[in-house]
């Protein structure tokens, strides 16, 4: 059979969807039927579901909370700022004045190259304008605004005008396509538990509890769940938000990366053990 005569994926889907779905639930049912008939693979189905969900998700549901924001103080010496930028390993940083509500602009890490190149550098003159959005903005609208404005970060403000957190285009895209790895994320083939340069450990949520216990000299139960991520979910009874902290045993565990479907990465600080009552 001539490969060019084979029906395309779109044609096969069109043949399956013989009538227009009347609502989202019916559309999802048809998409799942397409998956069961091998017209869609699992990744494609997940992306379509994520794209449908973003219209129901608000910025407050995925933003990095104010307390977890990595910010640069305008009054800090440039040497301290560059050290902080290198350690945090982000591409963009909010720059503040007197406090976190006094947000002056956004510093792009690449703009520090002028300083390293020995050229004249003034932090205030380098700042890019910050974009402010309300907590209630829906993600589909925000994604459209990101694309039009070519901004990659927005500052989230509450009803009183105070800074509530921040959100990036990566945060929004991860709600559609799942976790996006970059050069600072875990390699899929790498170790599940990695020591960072702050003395804390980044732990994949898929790490088996037995391995976790061995690494941190703990005795967390593994009767009901096999992974540390599952234990975190059991403890909270829901999917956590990024930046949320949970106490399990005498360990303080922070959620580093999570989306609306699963937990990806945890942060464990062995220097901040919480005493247990005898």
Q: What percent of the chain has pLDDT over 90?
A: 25
- Number of domains making up the chain: 2
Which residues sit opposite 105 in a β-bridge?
Answer: 95
pTM over 0.85: no
SS3 (DSSP) at 164: strand
**CATH number (domain holding residue 245):** 3.30.465.10
Q: 177, 212, 228: which is the final residue of a domain? A: 177
Report if residue 210 sits inside a domain: yes
| Residues 226, 158 share a domain | no
Give the 3-state secondary structure of 224-242.
Answer: CCCEHHHHHHHHHCCCCCC
Same domain? 65 vs 115: yes
pLDDT at residue 16 tops 60 = no
Residues in the chain: 278
Q: Give burial (CB, 10 Å; 0-12/13-18/19+) of 212.
A: buried
- The residue segments making up the domain with residue 245 are 193-270
For residue 43, being part of any structural domain is answered with no
Q: Domain boundary residue among 113, 146, 177?
A: 177
What pLDDT, on the 0 to 100 scale, is given for residue 189? Answer: 42
Q: Quick one: how far is CA 170 from the chain centroid? A: 7
Q: Is residue 245 part of a domain?
A: yes
**What's the mean pLDDT when you consider all of the chain?**
80
Residues 122-156: pLDDT tens digits?
899 999 999 999 999 999 899 999 989 888 999 99
Is 212 a member of any domain?
yes
- Residue 5: inside a domain: no
pLDDT score of 205 more than 90:
no
pLDDT, tens digit, 9 for 90 and up, residues 217-267: 888 888 888 889 888 888 888 777 777 888 887 788 888 777 656 788 888
3-state secondary structure of 12: helix
Residue 2 pLDDT grade (very low, low, confident, very high; cuts 50, 70, 90): low
Angstrom distance (rounded) from CA 130 to CA 95: 9
């Amino acid at each position: 059979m001539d490969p060019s005569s084979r029906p395309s994926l779109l044609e096969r889907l069109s043949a399956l969807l013989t009538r227009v779905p009347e609502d989202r639930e019916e559309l999802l049912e048809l998409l799942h039927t397409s998956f069961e008939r091998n017209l869609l693979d699992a990744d494609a189905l997940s992306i379509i579901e994520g794209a449908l969900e973003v219209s129901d998700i608000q910025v407050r549901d995925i933003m990095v909370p104010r307390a977890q924001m990595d910010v640069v103080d305008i009054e800090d010496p440039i040497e301290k700022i560059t050290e902080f930028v290198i350690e945090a390993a982000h591409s963009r940083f909010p720059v503040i004045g007197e406090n976190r509500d006094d947000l002056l602009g956004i510093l792009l890490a690449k703009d520090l190259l002028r300083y390293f190149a020995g050229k004249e550098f003034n932090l205030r003159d380098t700042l890019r304008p910050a974009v402010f959005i309300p907590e209630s903005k829906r993600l589909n609208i925000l994604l459209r605004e990101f694309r039009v404005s070519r901004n990659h970060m927005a500052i989230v403000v509450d009803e009183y005008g105070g800074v509530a957190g921040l959100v990036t285009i990566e945060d929004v895209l991860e709600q559609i396509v799942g976790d996006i790895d970059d050069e600072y994320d875990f390699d899929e083939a790498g170790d599940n538990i990695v020591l960072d340069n702050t003395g804390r450990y980044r732990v994949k949520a898929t790490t088996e509890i037995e391995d976790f216990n061995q690494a941190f000299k703990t005795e967390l139960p593994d009767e009901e769940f096999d992974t540390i991520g599952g234990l975190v979910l059991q403890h909270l009874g829901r999917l956590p938000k990024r930046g949320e902290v949970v106490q399990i045993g005498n360990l303080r565990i922070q959620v580093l990366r999570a989306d609306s479907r699963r937990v990806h990465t945890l942060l464990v600080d062995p220097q901040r053990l919480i005493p247990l009552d005898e």
